[in-house]
Structures are given as C-alpha cells and as structure tokens.
Amino acid sequence: MARVGEATSSVGLPDALARARMRASMVPDLLVEARRVANNVIAGWHGRRKRGIGENFWQFRPYVEGEAIARIDWRRSARDDQLYVRDREWEASHTIWLWADASPSMLYKSASAAVAKDSRALVLALALAELLSRSGERIAWPGLTDPFVSRHGAERLAAQLAQAKAPPARPDLGAVRRFSDVVLVSDFLDPVEDTVAWLEPLAQRGARAHLIEVADPAEEVFPYSGRTEFRDPETGARLTAGRAEALGEEYRRLYLARRAELSAWCKRLGWSLTVNHTDRLASEALVKVHQAMSEDAGYRAGTRA
Amino acid sequence: MNALALSFAQPLVLWGLVALPVIWWLLRLTPPRPQTEVFPPLRILARVLKTEETPHQSPWWLTLLRLAIAALVILALADPVLNPRERLAAEGRALALVVDNGWASAPDWDRRAATAERLIADARDGGVPVVLAMTAEPANAEIGPFGADAALERLNAAAPQPVPTDRPGTYARVADALADLPGAAIAVLADGLAAEGDEAAFETLFAAGAARVLWFSPDGLSTAVVTAAENRPEAFRVSAVRAPGDAAPRRLAVFASDDKGRRIAEAALAFGPGETSAFADMAVPFELRNDFAAVALEGERHAGGLHVLDENARRRRVGLLSPVEADQAQPLLSPLYYIRRALAPYADLVEPSRLEATEAIPELIERGPAIIVMADVGTLPEAARERLVEWVRGGGTLVRFAGPRLAVAENDPELLPVRLRLGERSLGGTLSWTEPQPVTEFPPAGPFADLAPPRDVTVRRQVLAEPSAEIVERTWANLADGTPLVTGAQRGDGMVVLFHVTPEATWSNLPISGSFVEMLRRVVQLSRNQGRIDAAADGGTGTLAPYRMIGADGTLVPPPPQAEPLPAAGPRAVTLANPPGLYGSEAGVVAHNLFGAKATLAPLARPDTALPVTDASYAFDQSRDLKGPLLAASLGLLALDALAVLWLGGLFAGLRRRPGAARTAAAPALALVLAAGLWPADPAAAQDARPDQQPDDQAVIEAISETRIGYVLTGDSAIDSVSRAGIAGLSRFLAQKTAFEPGEPAGVDIDSDELAFYPLIYWPMAPDAAMPSEAAIARVDAYMRQGGTVLFDTRDQFSGGFRDGGAVSPGTQRLRDILSGLNVPALEPVPDDHVLTKAFYILSEFPGRYRGSPLWVEAALDAESRADRPVRTGDGVSPIMITGNDLAGAWAIDSDGGALLPTVPADPLQRVYAFRAGVNIMMYMLTGNYKSDQVHVPVLLERLGQ
C-alpha cells in the first residue's frame, strides 16, 4: 500500500542553513504565486470605499442627532435648511501582523494534496502581504520585522524571511498593539487550550486575529487502513495502530471537535477562523480572510473612528 | 493396518513435528511489518489510540494457521496412507487369475474388477507374469501370460456377460498355460454359483502345478433369478429361484414391462425363510398381460433377473373348424359367427383354407393353435382324428359345440369329455311339456366358478350326457334341471371341452349372451399356447436372427456383434454366441432365456485341494494416499494466510474506501452500468403491465359496438362524399323500415383499416383515383374469403355507350383491374329466384341512380332450383356483388334528408326501388339464406292445415 503522506523536508531542524537555503529558494516562486493569487482577489476589491478617517471627501450625509457638532459641514449646510455632515473616505493605514507557521508539523504533504502545508501557509501569508501593502497597509511579521509600509511589502517580507534564522515555534506577539489585525496561518494542531493560552493576550490587548488553519486532507479524512505506524514529525513519537481504519471515525470526531472548539472561541472574540485545505486553492482562503478583514474594518471604521 | 487405519511410508519425517514449537516461537516474534506513516495530528490520534491495544505480535489465530500449515506439510512429507491395503503377495513364478464373468458377476463386477486389479498391481510389484482368464469368454480368447500392464488392460476391457460360466473349458486352458510356469499362485475369483463340471474343472486347474490358491468368493449370495413366467387364467405367474445359501426371508418386487420398456404391472415376490423358490402372481387384466414383453426382478441387475416373453405367453391362437361353408350372405347363420365375435378381441383366429377335414385339421395343427374350436363336427376321418387326438394329448385344447351332426354321431371318448346320448333333447317345444331351461350357478369346481351365471339364457335344445360317475366333476356349467351344459375333461396335457348347444343361436340364446364371451375367454385362458414362431418367419433357414438381447445388467440391449442366429429347432443353450434375449424379428420373436422353468441355483463350494488355500473376499482397494490432499490442504491454508495478511495490512479496507477521485469516477460509471442494465427492461415491464392494450383499441371497440356499413375511401373526394351520403341515406331508410339500425357509415381505407368489422363494404369505382395497392387488394381478397361481401359499383350504366363489347368504360376497366387480383367466383346476374330478390321486399331488379344494369352475384352452382319452390335453396352469401347502377348515388341524401342526386330517368319510384334494393342487399348480408327458408312458410302452413 502506498503511503498516504510524507514529510516534505527533513525533520532534523539542526541543519538550519540548509533549511534556510531551501526556503530562500522557495520564496521567489511563492512570491510569484502570491502575486497571482492576490491579483485574483484584488480584481473584485476596489479600494476602501468606506467612509472613515481620511483626507478625501467621500460624501455629504444628513446630520443625525447625537453626532459631534464639529463634523457638520457648515458650508454645505448653509446652502439649504438641512444640516450636512461631510464624510471622508477612510484612509487610515492599518497595521496587520502576518505570520505563517513553519514548524515541522507543517512540513507535510499527503498524496491527495497539491502542496505541503508550510508552502501553502507561506503563500497565504505572502499573498496577504502583497494585497495589504498594495492598499497601503502597514504589514509586519512578528519576531522578524516591525510594521512597515511598502509598495513591495511581499518582496521585503520574503527577503527578510529568507535571511531569518530558524524561527521559534510560536512568535512573540507582544509587539502587537490595539486595533491591529493579526493573521496567523498555521495548522493549529496543538491542543486548543495551548492555542487559546497563546492568543489570549492578543484579545486582551484588543487586537483582532484572523486564524487560517491549513489542513491537509489526509489529516482530516484519515484514509489510513491496516496495520500502520504513525510518526509525529514534531516530536518523533510513534504510534502503531493494528487496524487503522477502525480508528478513523473516532479520530475524525476529535479532529473536528478541536476545530469547532477553536472556531467557537474565535467567534466569541469576533475573530475569524478560516480553514484552507491543501487540496483546494489558496485564493479561496484568501478571499475569505480578506472579506473577514474588510467587513470588520468597515464596522470598526463606522463605530470607533 | 493399525487402529487408525493410517500408516506412514516415511515415519521418520514425523520427527519434524518436534520443530513446531520453534516455528511457533519464531512466528510469534515476527509480526507483520506495519506501514509507516508521517502523521502530524498524532496527538489527536493518540487520544483515540489509547483505547486500542497495539499488537506487537502476530494475532494468535494467524500463528495457529501458520503452525497448521507447517504441520500439514510435515505430515504430507511422511507419505500417509489411509486404509492401507494388505498385500496378497504374489510370490511365486506367476499369478493366474481366473475370473468368473458370467451373469452372476454383473451386479458387483466393479468389486471383482477392483480385486483383480489389486492382485495384478501386486503382481506388478512382484514382477511376475499374469495369466488372466475369464470364464465367460470365447474359447479362443488369449489368456497370457501377460505383463502386468497388459493384464490390467485386458481386465479393463473385460465385462460381465449375460451367459453362464464355462469353467471346465477355461480352467483347462489356464492349466495349459500354467504348465510352463510351475509354482504359480492361482487366484480364483468365483461368482459363488456352482455349475456343471465344476469338480473336474477345479481338479484340472489345481493339478497344473500351482503353489498356492487364493480363493475369492462373494460374501453373501443373494442372487435371485426368474425361472418362468406363466400366463395363468387368473393371473400372470412369475416364478423365481435363489441360491440356497441365502436362508433369510426376502421380498422382491417383480414387474412386467411392455415392448417399449414401460412398466405395466407389478407384484411382490416373497421367499420364505429357507425357501429357494417363490412365485408372484400379477392379477392384471388379460388384455394387459398380452402386452407383457418381459418380466424382471426389481433390483436384480443381472441377466437372470430379466425374463423375456414371447408369443407363448401371449395371445392364444385359435383354430376354427366348421362342417359347412359359411354362407356369406347370411353371416348370422354361420356356426362360427358368434365364436369369432367372442374370441376375436382375445385371440388370433385361424381357419383352414380347405373344407375337407383331412386337409383342414392338419393344416390347422400345423399353424400351432392353442385351441381348436369345432362347431358341430360329428365324425372325423380317421387320419384327421389321429392328428387331433395327438394334438390334444400334446397340450391342445379342443372346444366342441353340439349340433345336429354331433347329436347323431358315434361317441368318441377321446375327443368328447363325456359320453353322449344319441340324439338331442328338446325343451319347451310345441309337443313338449317342459320349459326352456335357464342356466344355474356355475359349479364351484369348474373354471367358470367365479363367473356370474347368465340370468336370461335359456336352452331349448341340447345334447345329453350319459350319466356317469365322473360327470359331476367334468361339468362346468349346468342347466336348472341339472343337465350339463358345458363339460370338460383332461386328455393328456390337453383338454376337451364340449358345449352341449350349438354355437349359433338356434338351440339356445347362450351364444348371443355376454356370458358366452366370458366362458370362451376363460377357456382360452386355460389353454396352452402351442404356437411356435413359424420357421418361415426367418426366410425358412431354420434359424432366428438375434433381435433384442438381455444385457449383463439385466436390460434389453441391441444384439452384440458376436450374437449368432438361434436354431429354430433343437436344443438351445445360452452361450456367448447365443446370449439370452429375443430372437426373430418384429413379426415374431422367440424368447431365449437364461433359465428354464426347472432351473435351480446352487452355491459353489470350495473344492478340496492339497494346495494351501487363502480365503479372501472381494473388496475395493480403499487405500488412499493422503499426501496429495494434505499438500492441497496446506496450500489452501497458505492462500488463507496470504488473504489474512492482506486483510491485516488493510488492503480490503482500502479497496472499500478509496478516497476522492476513484469514488467519484466510479459512481457515475456505476450509475451508467445500472442504467444500461435497467433500460431495456423498462419497456418490457411497461408492456407487461398492460398486456392487452393496443393503441387503436378504442377505434376497434367503436367499430364493433354497432353494425356499420362500410364504404371504400377511393381517394376521389366527390365519390367518397357521395358514398358516405348514400350509405347514410340507406342507413336511415333501413332504420325506418326494418329492425336494423346501422351505425354511422364507416369510411374504410383498404390499405390499413381492419375490414372484418363490416358486413358489407360498398366500393364505388373511381377511375380517376389511384389504383389500390396489391397488398390492399390482397386484404380485400382475404376479407371476402372470411365471409365479407364487397359491393362493387362501376356507376357507368349509361356512360359505357353502346354495349357492343368493344367499348369499356373507365369504371369497368378499373373494376377489371381490381378483380384480376381477387379470387372471384363464377358470377351470374341475380336470378329470378335468388334470395336477394326476396330478402325483404320482392324485387325483380336492383336499380340505383341508373336502371338496367344487372346485379352480379356469385353463381350458386350447387343450388337447387325446383319448380315448386319460389326460391332456390343454397348455402352461403355471395362474397361479391357488382352493379353499374350507382346505388349510393340514389341513396345519397343531404343533411335535410332530401335526395342529393337525381335519378336517371328522374323517376321518384326508381329511388324507392333503389332503397328497397339496398334493404334487400343488407338483409341478405345479415340473414344470409334464411329467407330462402322463410318463403316456404305458406306451403308449410298449408300442409299443416291439411
């Protein structure tokens, strides 16, 4: 029986140089793909056509009782008997932290998947970087860069990544400030309590996180059968199942329960959790995340700005 | 043979079983290698897997399976043999096998052959030559010595024969063959039945210098054979004997079958304890017994179990002898008339070609009758009498009838059962006080005892027997006054029977009573068949060709090639050249049976001899080499093991749940296959659901729910509309004037519509329209032949110009064209006395729009036209009518009921006559020649009145 999944690179992390080189060589390709994906998305997204804090006039609208009087545009109001408020287009630049998990557990690709999980995660992160930097947002990579604005944010991020040392399994999110968005691309296979404990400070600081769970179909479907020895790429632990097919149902239940729990937690905080399977297109997740971010941005612009 | 009936050729190999624990240990240590998989969400899986024991060793049953395989292989290598046979070792210089393959060996020939085969196999192991002799073989058959293989071949070619064994001859030949091979072992495979010359035969055999004797005899001798089949008056008796060695009571079913092998009668045959002979009676009707072709013992599958029957067991041949030549003009007065009528169903009747007794009696006896019936023969010439007496003493039955001649003849003690008084006795005559005497109960001792005495038979005259001591026991039937009516007596093997009345109904009415038939039948049954198949039946050569032989298994088979003709006369022995069976031809057969009536069976005793004798019994070689089956079993288990390993490896689960593409691709394919399988079934199912529905059923129901007059749609719309209007007008007229109310006129497309619904189809000729197709004309032809009538109308009475024979109107031409494709009967103009002229109205002509054209109908060739009848009689309705008067034109009405077309000439009465013609035609169609009977009513009434 053919193997269901394989590790996409050596598990031995010590050889950081080789790994960095490998990743560096991968980045340009990813960059190109990320551009391609971002182009797909941006085609349906014209600017930030929202009122908000900005320079440019957006619209006049009738004054509503309770609004700040300072916002009344008297010049316009003087022309008739109605009070008007001048809305400006939202142009406030936003800081968005991007992070893609590069832990060994991401280095996995099953037979039915198109790409490895870490590859997909990086592509999503860079594509978001491309999208956001094109629209003038400040992007950052926790533990790697400070927030910056650049027309070529993705390239810069990629260059930084290529030169980076082996990153820690979980980056320090202490630099994330209030009102920042955080996009975390990982497989979130750790116990939910660990993940929650890691992300709880973010919520406390008022940052918003968008979780993208990159899942391999093999992990979700569990197509194993027969006598199978399973090996954890992260810890190297081994488990041998006498008849793997007998475990499938229970496993799937637990797997999905984990996701459901995480998703429920995110929803409670107003965060989003997007699942992207590596046998599906990256742009699907990209569109979803982007929607989640922009809708939310509009909401916040309307109330808090 | 040990207790388990299992032995090993290589017992040392069994030590290999000691290695089994080692194998077990090894097997337990090496579980099947698992598939290694990287699996990032291992922590989740770990929570699941806690519940399952992870097997680090092979499952116990897999280990057991593999151990079993190993054990089986070791056992197989040890060459185990089940039921090892003992060796009847053929030490010595040679082995002589003398095998009885006579009829008695057939039932268990396989065992005998297997025993012989075993002996030959031993001889092969010992490397000694084999002398193989069968006791029922041609004397020139080769007996060896053979090599073992050749002997085996010969043994396989041998088969049991349906003939007795010939031990003396065979044993002598074996002794000759053994003369060169001193010290041989002789194996006698006997069939257990003694035969003539056994003692001398065994003496010869054992004197041939043999070293030892192996004596095989069957365990039990349960053979039973049919010895005789006898057609007795009351039943068909089958006798059987069995070998005396078998003392237990035994019941056998015996059945009779006809010449086609059908079983037609059955009986049980029971041997009492210690009895060696028994018989069974089949009480079946006499007629059925004549069909018996063979009787057989159920379950006795050898030649002795089947007994073929020939004419002797069947119909009797009865010779008839009359003193006077029968007057052909007055057959009822012939003396033999009633005898012939009574006996013909049960017997073959033969009559001499000559009248003179000197010639007639030898001629009759020559043909071998069982019975000779003499009607009122008084005295016989001495030579003829001698022959007759001899024949009677030899078993013939002579039945005599009294008469005027016998009444005055001398007494003949040989040919008459009783002494007769001279002259006859008359009862109830004009000058007699006595009454005609009835018949009383038949004497219980006589053969008629169980017959019901005739109540209505009276005897007016008879010949009287002299009173004597034996007259009572010789009397078979009495009159009420105690005088004998029928007497009978034994004469040697034969019998003489006298009816004291004439065979015709002059002296009594006995011959015309049913009892006469029964009495004669009973006499016939009592008689014995003397008939032999005529020698001439086989071309006069004196031999009888083999016809159907009894096979060794007790069935009838075609003659084998070595069967020779049977001499017609002289002693007949059952030999290989003359196997038992039927000889002759289809015309007549002679049964040649294995056993005669007096045959017995005796068991064969082992002869005393000085040689060492080993007793043995027949048995199949039951030793079975178990090596092959064991290896096969281990291979099977190995296959199981492979499957189990695959199962453990999850192959089958993988086949069940193949993720993604395979399943999605398979689903439509499966759906396609299913659909393809179901699709052809659907129309069939739909048809099944409504088996009788046809698309035009509704039209058919409408067409037949009322009687409609049809007209042919010619395609010319003017003509068709006139036809329709005409038929409608006629229908209205019919409804007004008669009890017949036709339905809507039916336009008929003769190409496609069903024509059979219409009694009459009106067909106007439309010369401008297209000629009907041949198929359409054929349909019309069939319609006419099935009883329909077509009324052709050329509508050209006045358009044809002068009828000088030269000019033909287009309508007539079209009619001729159409009629050339039809089977048109001979036609005639409606004659004056035709029923058409009187069917409803009395008409003399049938005008339409035109007047003058005759109406042509089928000529009634066989019709009777008599001057005193107003109408000709005759059957049938003319299938065709032809007119030129344009009837529909005259009938045609418009929607208001007014006439559509004028008549020519414009005479209102002509239209009325046209309608009347139409009514007559319709009545003729619907009632046929009924009116030709009705027109007689006045005559009949007139006659009744007088």
Q: What is the pLDDT of residues B860-918, one digit of tens each?
A: 665 566 665 556 666 678 888 898 888 888 999 888 888 888 888 888 889 999 999 99
What are the chain A neighbours of B37 within 8 Å (beta carbons)?
Answer: 3-5, 224, 228-231
- The secondary element (H helix, E strand) that includes residue A211 is strand A208-215
Mean per-residue pLDDT for B37-43? 82
Q: What residue numbers bound the domain in which B248 lies?
A: 222-314+546-602
Measure CB to CB from residue B39 to each of A5, A217, A243 and give the nearest one: A5
Q: For residue range B734-752, what is the model confidence (pLDDT) as tens digits?
A: 999 998 888 888 888 888 8
Instruction: Specify the pLDDT at position B915.
Output: 92
- Tell me if B598 sits within 8 A of B198, measured CB to CB: no
Q: For residue range A40-93, what is the model confidence (pLDDT) as tens digits?
A: 555 433 445 566 655 667 788 888 888 888 888 888 889 988 899 888 766 556
Closest Cα in chain B, distance from residue A125 (Å): 21
Residue B70 has pLDDT above 80, yes or no: yes
d(C-alpha B449, C-alpha B442), whole Å? 5
What are the chain A neighbours of B44 within 8 Å (beta carbons)?
Answer: 189, 251, 254-255, 258
Q: For residue range B348-384, what is the model confidence (pLDDT) as tens digits?
A: 778 887 767 677 788 888 877 888 888 877 777 788 8
Residue B934 has pLDDT above 80, yes or no: no
Neighbour-count burial of B114, counting CB atoms closer than 10 A to its CB (0-12 exposed, 13-18 middle, 19+ buried): middle
E-strand stretches of B657-797: 710-712, 746-748, 760-764, 789-793
Measure CB to CB from residue B35 to each of A6, A227, A239 and give the nearest one: A227
d(C-alpha B590, C-alpha B567), whole Å? 11
For residue B419, which phi and psi values (nearest 5 degrees)? -75, 140
- Across the interface, whether the CB atoms of A108 and B40 are under 8 A apart is answered yes
- Across the interface, whether the CB atoms of B650 and A190 are under 8 A apart is answered no
Strands A181-186 and A95-100 turn out to be parallel
Q: For residue range B406-449, what is the model confidence (pLDDT) as tens digits?
A: 877 778 888 888 888 877 777 776 777 778 888 888 888 778 87
Instruction: Specify the pLDDT at position B727.
Output: 92
Instruction: Specify the pLDDT at position B864.
Output: 60
Residue B12's pLDDT band (boundaries 50, 70, 90)? confident
- Tell me if B488 sits within 8 A of B447, measured CB to CB: yes
Determine which of B37, B56, B646, B652 to mutate to test the interface with A (most A C-beta atoms within 10 Å).
Answer: B37
- Check whether residue B566 and residue B636 sit in a common domain: no
Our CA dihedral for B774, B777, B779, B781, rounded to 10 degrees, sits at: -130
- Tell me if B497 sits within 8 A of B397, measured CB to CB: yes
DSSP state of A79: T
- Across the interface, whether the CB atoms of B651 and A1 are under 8 A apart is answered yes
Bond preceding residue B683 cis, omega within 30 of 0: no
Amino acid symbol at B515: S
- Check whether residue B439 and residue B359 sit in a common domain: yes
Query: Alpha helices of B179-320 — where are they, by DSSP H?
Result: 198-206, 286-289
Residue B212 has pLDDT above 70, yes or no: yes
- Across the interface, whether the CB atoms of A112 and B660 are under 8 A apart is answered yes
CATH of A11-48+92-303, one of 3.30.110, 3.40.50, 1.10.10, 1.10.287: 3.40.50
Residue B169 has pLDDT above 70, yes or no: yes
Residue B387 has pLDDT above 50, yes or no: yes
Residue A179 has pLDDT above 80, yes or no: no
Query: Distance of CA A304 to CAs A51, A266, B54, B146, Å?
Result: 12, 21, 57, 121
Instruction: Specify the pLDDT at position B537.
Output: 40
DSSP state of B479: B
A108 touches chain B (CB under 8 A): yes
Instruction: Specify the pLDDT at position B916.
Output: 92
Instruction: Specify the pLDDT at position B681.
Output: 42
d(C-alpha B895, C-alpha B898), whole Å? 7
Instruction: Specify the pLDDT at position B659.
Output: 45
Give percent of chain B above pLDDT 90.
3
- Check whether residue B131 and residue B208 sit in a common domain: yes
d(C-alpha B531, C-alpha A94), whole Å? 136
d(C-alpha B643, C-alpha B313), whole Å? 72
Mean per-residue pLDDT for A200-225? 86
- Angle at CA A241, nearest 5°, toward A239 and A247? 115
- More confident of the two residues B134 and B620: B134
- Check whether residue B722 and residue B853 sit in a common domain: yes
Mean per-residue pLDDT for A123-136? 78
Q: Among the ranges A192-206, A287-301, B126-140, B772-786, which has the highest mean pLDDT value?
A: A192-206
- Check whether residue B628 and residue B487 sit in a common domain: no
- Check whether residue B762 and residue B730 sit in a common domain: yes
Instruction: Specify the pLDDT at position A264.
Output: 92
A21 touches chain B (CB under 8 A): no
Closest Cα in chain B, distance from residue A187 (Å): 9
For residue B352, which phi and psi values (nearest 5 degrees)? -70, 150
Residue B74 has pLDDT above 50, yes or no: yes
Residue B707's pLDDT band (boundaries 50, 70, 90)? confident
Buried b (16+ CB within 10 A) or exposed e, A214-239: bbbbbbbbbbbbbbbbbbbbbeeeeb
- Check whether residue B727 and residue B709 sit in a common domain: yes
For residue B745, which phi and psi values (nearest 5 degrees)? -60, 140
Instruction: Specify the pLDDT at position A15.
Output: 43
The reply to whether B691 falls in a domain is: no
Q: Among the ranges A214-218, B11-15, B546-550, which has the highest mean pLDDT value?
A: A214-218
| Residue from A121, A149, A135 nearest A27 by CA | A121
Positive or negative, the Cα torsion across A259, A262, A264, A266?
negative
The reply to whether B536 falls in a domain is: no
B484: helix, strand or coil: strand
What are the chain A neighbours of B33 within 8 Å (beta carbons)?
Answer: 227
Bond preceding residue B454 cis, omega within 30 of 0: no
Instruction: Specify the pLDDT at position B919.
Output: 92
- Which DSSP string corresponds to B771-804? PPPHHHHHHHHHHHHTT-EEEEE---TTTS-S-S
The domain locations on chain A are 11-48+92-303, 57-88
Domain count, chain B: 5
- Check whether residue B391 and residue B255 sit in a common domain: no
Beta-carbon neighbour count of residue B111 at 10 Å? Answer: 18
Q: Report the residue of chain B nearest A255, measured CA to CA.
A: B44
Mean per-residue pLDDT for B464-470? 85
Instruction: Specify the pLDDT at position B806.
Output: 55
Query: Distance of CA A302 to CAs A51, A88, A89, A138, A299, Å?
Result: 7, 11, 11, 20, 5
Residue A295's pLDDT band (boundaries 50, 70, 90)? low
Residue B330 has pLDDT above 80, yes or no: no
Instruction: Specify the pLDDT at position B871.
Output: 64
Measure CB to CB from residue B41 to each of A219, A223, A246 and give the nearest one: A219
Q: For residue range B586-602, what is the model confidence (pLDDT) as tens digits?
A: 766 778 888 877 777 88
Q: For residue range B760-786, what is the model confidence (pLDDT) as tens digits?
A: 899 998 887 788 888 888 888 888 877
CB proximity under 8 Å: A 181-210 to B:
187, 189-191
A89: β partners: A51
Give percent of chain A above pLDDT 90.
4
- Tell me if B60 sits within 8 A of B16, measured CB to CB: no
Instruction: Specify the pLDDT at position B636.
Output: 92
Amino acid symbol at A301: A
Residue B97 has pLDDT above 60, yes or no: yes
Average pLDDT of the residues of chain B: 78
Measure CB to CB from residue B37 to each of A105, A191, A228 and give the nearest one: A228
Give percent of chain B above pLDDT 70.
83
Which of A261-275, B126-140, B343-357 is the least confident region?
Answer: B343-357
What are the chain A neighbours of B39 within 8 Å (beta carbons)?
Answer: 5, 219, 224, 230-232
E-strand stretches of B224-302: 224-231, 236-242, 250-257, 263-271, 277-282, 294-297
Residue B56's pLDDT band (boundaries 50, 70, 90)? low
The reply to whether B669 falls in a domain is: no
The reply to whether B674 falls in a domain is: no
- Tell me if B728 sits within 8 A of B893, measured CB to CB: yes
Residue A204 has pLDDT above 80, yes or no: yes
Q: For residue range B647-682, what is the model confidence (pLDDT) as tens digits?
A: 876 666 555 544 444 444 444 444 454 444 444 444
Name B602's Cβ contacts closer than 8 Å, sequence gap at least 6: B193, B194, B243, B244
Amino acid symbol at B83: N
A121 touches chain B (CB under 8 A): no
d(C-alpha B896, C-alpha B371), whole Å? 96
Sheet with B263-271: list strands edge to edge. B263-271, B250-257, B294-297, B306-308
Average pLDDT of the residues of chain A: 76
Q: For residue range B512-535, what is the model confidence (pLDDT) as tens digits?
A: 888 888 888 888 777 765 544 443
Mean per-residue pLDDT for B447-470? 84
Instruction: Specify the pLDDT at position B329.
Output: 63
Residues of chain B contacting A, Cβ within 8 Å: 31-49, 51-56, 648-651, 653-654, 657, 659-660
Instruction: Specify the pLDDT at position B368.
Output: 75
B646: helix, strand or coil: helix
Closest Cα in chain B, distance from residue A154 (Å): 29
Closest Cα in chain B, distance from residue A230 (Å): 5
B357: helix, strand or coil: helix
Beta-carbon neighbour count of residue B122 at 10 Å? Answer: 22
Q: For residue range B393-410, what is the model confidence (pLDDT) as tens digits?
A: 888 888 998 887 787 777
Residue B714 has pLDDT above 60, yes or no: yes
- Check whether residue B416 and residue B446 sit in a common domain: yes
Name B830's Cβ contacts closer than 8 Å, sequence gap at least 6: B836, B837, B846, B854, B855, B856, B857
Please state whether the predicted TM-score (pTM) of the whole model is above 0.80: no
Residue B568 has pLDDT above 60, yes or no: yes
Mean per-residue pLDDT for B705-726? 88
What tokens were used for B130?
């084999």
d(C-alpha A34, C-alpha A22), whole Å? 18
Task: Tell me how far the alpha carbon of residue A276 is from its chain's centroid.
Answer: 10
Q: What is the CATH number of the domain that holds B108?
A: 3.40.50.410
Residue A23 has pLDDT above 80, yes or no: no
The reply to whether B178 falls in a domain is: yes
Positive or negative, the Cα torsion across B898, B899, B900, B905?
negative
Q: Report the residue of chain A nearest B32, measured CA to CA.
A: A227
Instruction: Specify the pLDDT at position A260.
Output: 92
Tokens 């046209």 sit at which residue?
A: B914
Mean per-residue pLDDT for B75-91? 70
- Across the interface, whether the CB atoms of A247 and B32 are under 8 A apart is answered no
Query: Distance of CA B568 to CAs B546, B591, B913, Å?
Result: 12, 11, 92
d(C-alpha B356, C-alpha B10), whole Å? 96
- Across the interface, whether the CB atoms of A217 and B54 are under 8 A apart is answered no
- Angle at CA B838, nearest 5°, toward B836 and B844? 80
Mean per-residue pLDDT for B929-938? 73
Tokens 């109960």 sit at which residue?
A: B441
Mean per-residue pLDDT for B813-829? 82
Determine which of A3, A216, A227 to mutate to test the interface with B (most B C-beta atoms within 10 Å).
Answer: A227
- Angle at CA B133, nearest 5°, toward B128 and B138? 150
